[in-house]
């Protein structure tokens, strides 16, 4: 008997990437907060895949520090400890120091125009009080500067660190705070535009230290469905 045809999204790299990106982006944009449960049956239904695919993706996310796999209890979004928080911020400061120096050395006029558009989008989101967009843009600012360094390996490492910092902000930062300050971003761009590597590095270091100092050991978590937190469903009115 011939095997039954498989849905192309039931297995393989496309399904893996789709699920990984949905969870990763949910963390980056603060929709998925630390401790959020990721039930395998629900993920299978949401993405139309089998358990083997979901388990493979959850294992990859666990390897990257985004998910914690608990024996006999399933997967949850990771909850970094204070010690891990300190180590992650220390690593991120070191990584961004190198990336900013490379960005200043390699930035083009087109890159600078893109950075100014990024700042304009941040300003617009901030004045619309659009917290989800502001969180996304704030993380995106750091990844955009990393891209200017034109080193794919360093950029990939920073992407993981930024996502893990987003977890920490979701866990520890008090509600109502922006994950980054727009004026600090603008000052960093001004230094990059002036080809002032030392100034840009110093401002980035201070910027990340300020973010770490705002971290508190309390968290509030809203009542939302997993589909909503993954961005796959609209919130109910």
pLDDT tens for residues 18-61? 999 999 888 877 788 888 999 999 999 999 999 999 999 999 99
Q: Which residues contact 124 (CB under 8 A, 6 or more apart)?
A: none
Rounded average pLDDT over 70-79: 90
- Indicate if the pLDDT at residue 95 is higher than 90: yes
Tokens 């993706």, residue? 57
Contact 36, 226 (CB under 8 A): yes
Q: What percent of the chain has pLDDT over 90?
A: 53
Task: For residues 70 and 150, give the distance between their C-alpha atoms in angstroms, rounded to a whole number.
Answer: 38
pTM of the shown model? 0.71
pLDDT interval class at 219 (50, 70, 90): very low
The Cα–Cα gap between 12 and 166 comes to 28
Return the residue matching tokens 């083009």. 108
pLDDT at 144: 95
At 97, the pLDDT band (50, 70, 90 cuts) reads very high
**pLDDT at position 139, please?**
84
Q: Are 111 and 105 in contact (CB under 8 A)?
A: no
Say yes or no to pLDDT of 82 above 90.
no
Helix (H) or strand (E) holding 124, with range, is helix 109-127
Q: What is the pLDDT of residues 125-182, one digit of tens each?
A: 877 766 667 677 888 899 999 999 999 999 999 998 988 887 787 667 655 555 577 8
d(CA 225, CA 229): 6
C-beta neighbour count of 65 within 10 angstroms: 16
SS3 content of the chain, % helix, strand, coil (to 5): 65, 5, 30
Residue 3 predicted with pLDDT over 60: no
């Amino acid at each position: 008997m011939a095997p039954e045809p498989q849905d192309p999204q039931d297995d393989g790299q496309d399904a893996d990437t789709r699920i990984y990106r949905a969870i990763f982006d949910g963390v980056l944009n603060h929709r998925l907060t630390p401790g959020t449960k990721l039930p395998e049956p629900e993920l299978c239904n949401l993405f139309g895949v089998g358990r083997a695919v979901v388990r493979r993706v959850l294992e990859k996310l666990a390897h990257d520090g985004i998910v914690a796999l608990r024996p006999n209890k399933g997967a949850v979004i990771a909850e970094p400890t204070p010690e891990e928080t300190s180590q992650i911020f220390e690593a991120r400061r070191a990584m961004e120091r190198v990336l900013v120096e490379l960005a200043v050395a390699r930035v083009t006029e087109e890159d600078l125009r893109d950075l100014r558009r990024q700042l304009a989008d941040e300003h617009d989101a901030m004045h619309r009080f659009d917290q989800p967009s502001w969180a996304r843009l704030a993380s995106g600012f750091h990844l955009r500067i990393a891209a200017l360094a034109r080193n794919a390996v360093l950029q990939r490492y920073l992407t993981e660190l930024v996502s893990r910092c987003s977890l920490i902000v979701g866990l520890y930062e008090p509600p109502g705070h922006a994950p980054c300050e727009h004026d600090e971003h603008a000052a960093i761009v001004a230094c990059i535009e002036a080809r002032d590597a030392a100034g840009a590095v110093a401002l980035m270091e201070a910027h990340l230290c300020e973010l770490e100092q705002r971290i508190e050991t309390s968290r509030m978590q809203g009542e939302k469905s997993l589909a909503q937190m993954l961005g796959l469903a609209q919130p109910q009115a």
